[in-house]
Amino acid sequence: MRSSLLLVALSCLFSSACDDGQNAATSALLAADNPTKLSEWGQVFVQADALSLGVDVAPYDLNTALFTDYAHKLRTIWMPEGVSAGYADDTVFDFPVGTVITKTFYYPKVTSDSADEVALTTADGEDFDGVRLQLPGIKLIETRVLVNRADGWEALSYRWNEEQTDATLLKTGDIVPLTLVSADGMKKPFNYIVPNLNQCASCHATDSSTRKLWPIGPKARHLNRDFDYAYGTNNQLAHLQSVRYLTDLPEMDAVPQNAAWGNASESVEALARSYLDINCSHCHSPVGPADNSGLYLEPHSTGPSLGLCKLPIAAGAGTGNRLWGIKPGDPEGSILWYRLNTAKPDEMMPEIGRSTVHTEGVVLIAAWISSIEGTCEPNLTADQPWPGRVLEPGEDWSFGEAKEEWAGKRASYQEDIPGLEN
């Protein structure tokens, strides 16, 4: 068995395996087949009006979550007996073959009998009590499965039936008409998009050279937080180590940690960078699908790579007629703000995964851009330094080194800036 007797006891607490004397679903790796029904995976299953976890299935959360039209999410992970994931500081953990990761998307209902009206709330995962998700008052939409097989990761989507008893495998995706209802009664109709297999790959193929699929969320900096398990509160990484799902975990003070969404003790910059990291950096990295943009939104990015005074390279209509990726002190003059603040399919960022604007996220990014000092002005001419530089207060554009820097870069910008043909 994977665990000692103590860990088996804890397993009964963090899964539903010992709940009320009833048998839980047995989690399993399906080495090749993709079952028609989600319940056949044994990861999550419906029992007594609740969505429960299979044997040895561990729930987890992220410090800041990827936005999906205000959907709530229940995330789980499971591994076969005798294998563990290897810890990594910056990248996704080295998960063994057989790992199954699931994410169930759902909404609180406005009323118990409301079919398509769902509550607009900003909480994510608070409905789960550490053992089960009570289904009365909940509308289940879909569960996504990532399974690590011998030839790599595979992504699958399962659509929940109206009875909320099981979910069925989809290959072509689905459109689910819903209406978000805010606390003040305002209603916003939208289409929730269940992704098809190609759309899954467009996000999870995080290396544009290999096009192999990878998980996005399970990284140290996203998982380094407490979780309210049935046995009590514990750090998620420490918990995964205790149930032998994770090896080589360093001392906790050496583990990176992103800012947690809504944590008032964190700086605006830390919150904004955490938000951009989870929502954007799987594409916007030096190896990601958006590597040709030159915009990299990883936690360590700075200067023009982060978008500061950066001219667009591949944004197309997504610029909103704005010149700079991030214009210090001017959110509405920044391409980044514009793309987050629109739901137009050919202009918004991320390009898929949402049909609505995340108002709270846009407000956060606006506050961060407003706090950035410096300027990208005056207008670009051949006498100005490299456009990726931020002009600090009091800095003289005529400074010799700046001119030399611009002279060395101007050739690559000749097609982007009027007046640089010569």
Tens-place pLDDT, residues 321-331:
898 999 999 99
Q: What is the mean pLDDT of residues 287-308?
A: 88
Do 238 and 332 belong to one domain?
Answer: no
Would the pLDDT of 409 be above 50?
Answer: no
CA distance 59 to 57: 7
Maximum Cα–Cα distance for the chain, whole Å?
Answer: 80
Q: Which is nearest to 297 in space by CA: 1, 13, 64?
A: 64
Question: For residue 287, what are the domain limits?
Answer: 268-413
Q: Average pLDDT of the chain?
A: 83
Q: What angle do CA 253, 66, 317 make, to 5 degrees?
A: 125
**Same domain, yes or no: 24 and 158:** yes
Q: Quick one: which of 416, 267, 277, 276 has its CA closest to 339?
A: 276
Distance in angstroms (rounded) separating the CA atoms of residues 302 and 312: 16
Both 9 and 132 in a single domain?
Answer: yes
Give the domain-ending residue among 226, 254, 282.
Answer: 254
| 238 within domain boundaries | yes
pLDDT tier at 413, thresholds 50, 70, 90: very low
Task: Specify the range with the lowest mean pLDDT, choosing from 160-169, 314-323, 335-344.
Answer: 314-323
Asked if the bond preceding 350 is cis, omega within 30° of 0, the reply is: yes
Q: Taking 60 as the threshold, does the pLDDT of residue 17 lie above it?
A: no
Assess whether 195 and 275 both reside in one domain.
Answer: no
Does residue 28 surpass a pLDDT of 70?
A: no
Domain presence at residue 62: yes
CB 133 within 8 A of CB 164: no
Mean pLDDT of 269-274: 97
Q: Who wins on pLDDT, 333 or 198? A: 333
Residues 55 and 168 in one domain: yes
The pLDDT-based confidence of 383 (bands split at 50, 70, 90) is very low
- Which of 129-133, 252-256, 347-351 is predicted with the least confidence, judged by mean pLDDT? 347-351
C-beta of residue 76 within 8 angstroms of C-beta of residue 52: no
Judge contact between 320 and 339, C-beta under 8 A. Answer: yes
Dig out the tokens for 177 from the structure: 């008409």
| 317 vs 310: CA distance, rounded Å | 16
Which of 105-109, 328-332, 378-382 is predicted least confidently?
378-382
What are the pLDDT digits (tens) for 56-66?
Answer: 999 999 999 99
Q: Are residues 190 and 74 in the same domain?
A: yes
- Read off the pLDDT of each residue in 186-196 and give the average, rounded to a whole number: 93
Does 237 have pLDDT greater than 60?
A: yes
Nearest to 153 by CA among 29, 61, 65: 29
d(CA 207, CA 313): 20
Residues 287 and 155 in one domain: no
More confident residue, 205 or 68: 68
Angle at the Cα of 138 from the Cα atoms of 125 and 358, rounded to 5 degrees: 55
* 184 shares a domain with 134: yes
Does 161 share its domain with 293? no
Q: What is the pLDDT of residue 412?
A: 42
Is 419 contained in some domain? no
Binned at pLDDT 50, 70 and 90, residue 416 comes out as very low
The pLDDT value given to residue 6: 36
- 214 shares its domain with 278: no
C-alpha 94/C-alpha 219 separation (Å) is 10
Q: Which of 146-150, 177-181, 263-267, 308-312 has the lowest mean pLDDT?
A: 308-312
Secondary structure (H, E, C), the chain? CCCCHHHHHHHHHHCCCCHHHCCCCCCCCCCCCCCCEHHHHCCEEECCCEEEECCCCEEECCCCCCCCCCCEEEEEEECCCCCCEECCCCCECECCCCCEEEEEEEEEECCCCCCCEEECCCCCCCCECCCEEECCCEEEEEEEEEEEECCEEEEEEEEECCCCCCEEEECCCEEEEEEEECCCCCEEEEEEEECCHHHHHHHHCCCCCCCCCCCCCCEHHHHCCEEEECCEEEEHHHHHHHCCCEECCCCHHHCCCCCCCCCCCCCHHHHHHHHHHHHHCCCCCCCCCCHHHCCCCCCCCCHHHHCECCCCCCCHHHHCCCCECECCCCHHHEHHHHHHCCCCCCCCCCCCCCCCCCHHHHHHHHHHHHHCCCECCCCCCCCCCCCCCCECCCCCCCCHHHHHHHHHHHHHHCCCCCCCCC
Give the pLDDT score at 125.
Answer: 65
* Of 112-116, 248-252, 257-261, 312-316, the least confident: 312-316
Same domain, 248 and 207: yes
Is the predicted pLDDT of residue 418 greater than 60, yes or no? no
Using alpha carbons, list the distances in angstroms from residue 349 to 27, 230, 317, 344, 357.
36, 37, 12, 9, 10
Is 323 contained in some domain?
yes
Residue 229 in any domain: the answer is yes
Residue that wins the pLDDT comparison between 353 and 256: 256
Confidence of residue 212 (pLDDT cuts 50, 70, 90): confident
The pLDDT, as a whole number, for residue 137 is: 92
Domain count, the chain: 2
Q: Examine the pLDDT at 150 and tell me if it is beyond 80.
A: yes
Is 420 within a domain? no
Residue 408's pLDDT is 45
Mark which of 222, 254, 286 sits at the end of a domain.
Answer: 254
Q: 193, 228, 254: which is the final residue of a domain?
A: 254
- Residues 363, 299, single domain; the answer is yes
Rounded distance between C-alpha atoms, residue 52 and residue 233, angstroms: 19
**Structural domain contains residue 421:** no
On whether residue 418 sits in a domain, the answer given is no
